[in-house]
Amino acid sequence: MTTTPPQQDDESGESDLDSALVTARRQLERAAAHVDVDDGVVERLKHPTRVEQVSVPLERDDGSVDVFTGYRAQHDDVRGPYKGGLRYHPEVNADECTGLSMWMTWKCAVMDLPFGGGKGGISVNPKSLSNDEKERLTRRFAEELRYVIGPTRDVPAPDMGTDAQTMAWFMDAYSMQQGETIPGVVTGKPPVIGGSYGRQEAPGRSTAIAAREAIDYYDKHLEETTVAVQGFGSVGANAARLLEEWGANVVSVSDVNGAIYDPDGLDIGAIPTHEEEPEAVLEQDAPETLSNEEILELDVDVLIPAAIGNVITADNADDIAADIVVEGANGPTTFAADTILEERGVHVIPDILANAGGVTVSYFEWLQDINRRKWSLEEVNKELESKMLDAWKEVRTEVEEKELSWRDAAYVVALSRIAEAKATRGLWP
Ligand code: NAD
């Protein structure tokens, strides 16, 4: 499998790979058809509040200067500050940030978090930067965005190409300029400076919880369930480990190089994650190896695509043999594939619900920062479990009452909350 960027533009009409913006607008329209919502509200939600574009000059280690373009898209803040990641990737652009910020609006709303959606980043290849350059670039970016972000305005987080250290530099630069330590300006920081325990594992944990609930809903038992996980990275490895711990039989996992498969079950705890030891999956003992296409087509109960976007497409949707797909990655299923899976009776638990543990624990981190009170890991995991179950029940009600797919139901829950907030606040002036 070739590594595709997570969001491909489908406006060429040559493929069914979906761009984030196209997907976000399409989902809004689909959800609006099932919700009693004013057309004006839908119209407002099609547009971001603002997309900030900034130039970020960087003095390279050799003394030369390069200028990069940075963005922060702020989609909607009717329910609270904008929230979403900052990515460093060559493909970052205004449209992608806008689409992903809309996605964050739905994700925060479906989880009932008091946040709206934001997303940003710098169009840069992070691998081309030394550590010092990355620090200087991040500090300057924080300064350029200083007037549009803040703990009650817009709260960034790590994303592709950025990590806890990046957030630490960002928080430090912002705090130095503001004249006081303001940990709540970003989440995903190291715990020693206000980060939350359990933040890194949270998207994998929520994906596992979503899988567990779906397995139960469809009258299966975890102990008799087989699972395949594409992408043994942060999300995939944490989801796989938890599901194994809870009794499921994880028979196949993959990384960018390929998959290992044992129909009797793998020893998941023994496989280092992408973070611990990059690309170690194929080095493990297993009876069979598979390609990254083949793992998607395994006859398992639950398939968890947790690597990159657009991997289940119109080309392979007919070959997906799993009964349940739980989206650990963002946007792994294209719109065309989604329709095919729905017609075939494959239940897809959408990304905005399944991997929302990340932003949910970011919310817990923000609360801890504002209250200056640290939570234990047990507290974080207990609260995450409770938030996930609440969201699951809300979405399940829509699935049952309106006979919707899980994806449409999740968007209906999100849109209903946002629309009600907009209607209650009204349009000013
Ligand atoms: P990661 O870098 O930790 O792991 C990615 C894994 O996918 C690695 O095992 C890598 O080898 C594998 N991979 C990369 N390209 C691949 C390809 N072409 N085919 C198959 N495998 C490939 O990333 P992550 O943080 O686990 O994120 C994975 C997905 O989950 C992304 O879509 C991301 O946007 C989404 N997500 C991440 C978080 C988070 O906080 N980490 C939160 C929500 C959603």
For the domain that residue 149 is a member of, what is the CATH number?
3.40.50.10860
Assign 3-class secondary structure to the chain.
CCCCCCCCCCCCCCCCCCCHHHHHHHHHHHHHCCCCCCHHHHHHHCCCCEEEEEEEEEECCCCCEEEEEEEEEEEECCCCCEEEEEEEECCCCHHHHHHHHHHHHHHHHHCCCCCEEEEEEEECCHHHCCHHHHHHHHHHHHHHHCCCCECCCEEEEECCCCCHHHHHHHHHHHHHHHCCCCHHHCCCCCHHHCCCCCCCCHHHHHHHHHHHHHHHHCCCCHHHCEEEEECCCHHHHHHHHHHHHCCCEEEEEEECCEEEECCCCCCHHHCCCCCCCCCCHHHCCCCEEECHHHHHCCCCCEEEECCCCCCECCCCHHHCCCCEEECCCCCCECHHHHHHHHHCCCEEECHHHHCCHHHHHHHHHHHHHHHCCCCCHHHHHHHHHHHHHHHHHHHHHHHHHHCCCHHHHHHHHHHHHHHHHHHHHCCCC
List the one residue out of 125, 188, 190, 131 whose CA is nearest residue 156.
188
Is the domain of 153 the same as that of 266? no
User: 314 and 16 in contact (C-beta within 8 Å)?
Assistant: yes
User: Is residue 132 domain-shared with residue 206, that is, in the same domain?
Assistant: no
For 408-413, what is the mean pLDDT? 98
**The domain spanning residue 308 has which CATH number?**
3.40.50.720
Domain-located, residue 344 = yes
Measured CA to CA in angstroms, residue 19 lies from 39, 134, 153, 263, 309 at distances of 24, 27, 27, 36, 10
394 is a domain residue: no
Position 6 scores a pLDDT of 40
Q: Tell me, yes or no, whether 380 lies in a domain.
A: no
State whether 215 and 177 are in the same domain. Answer: no
Please tell me the total count of domains within the chain. Answer: 2
Q: Same structural domain for residues 221 and 95? A: no
Give the residue numbers spanning the domain of 34.
Answer: 2-6+16-186
pLDDT of residue 23: 85
**Averaged confidence pLDDT in the chain:** 94
Q: Are residues 86 and 163 in the same domain?
A: yes
Q: Whose CA is nearest to atom 16 of ligand 1?
A: 256
Give the residue, out of 308, 312, 316, with the most ligand 1 atoms within 8 A of its beta carbon, to mutate for a pocket test.
308
Give the Å distance between the CA of 88 and the centre of ligand 1. Answer: 15
Please give the Cα distance from 183 to 329 (Å, whole number): 28
β-pair partners for 260 = 253, 289
Q: What pLDDT score does 15 carry?
A: 52
Question: Is any atom of ligand 1 closer than 6 Å to the C-beta of 235?
Answer: yes
Q: Which of the listed residues 329, 349, 369 is the one where a domain comes to its end?
A: 349
Same domain, 215 and 334: yes
pLDDT > 70: percent of the chain: 96
Q: Look at residue 396 and tell me if it is in a domain.
A: no
- Is 1 near ligand 1, meaning CB less than 6 Å away? yes
Decide whether any atom of ligand 1 lies within 6 Å of the 203 Cβ: yes
Position 36: which residue type? D
Residue of 201, 234, 291 best suited for mutating to test ligand 1, as the one with most atoms within 8 Å of CB: 234
Q: What is the pLDDT of residue 12?
A: 36
Q: What is the pLDDT of residues 221-245, one digit of tens each?
A: 999 999 999 999 999 999 999 999 9
For 335-378, the pLDDT digits (tens) are 999 999 999 999 999 999 999 999 999 999 999 999 999 999 99
Tell me: pLDDT of 8 over 60.
Answer: no
Residue 227 inside a domain? The answer is yes
Residue closest by Cα to atom 19 of ligand 1: 256
Closest C-alpha to 346, from 307, 309, 312: 312
Q: Check pocket membership of 279 for ligand 1, CB cut-off 6 A.
A: yes
Atom 28 in ligand 1: which residue has the minimum CA distance? 307
- What per-residue confidence (pLDDT) applies to 9? 32
Q: Which atom of ligand 1 is nearest to the CA of 355?
A: 43
CA 6 to ligand 1 centroid distance, Å: 10
Residues that are catalytic: 119
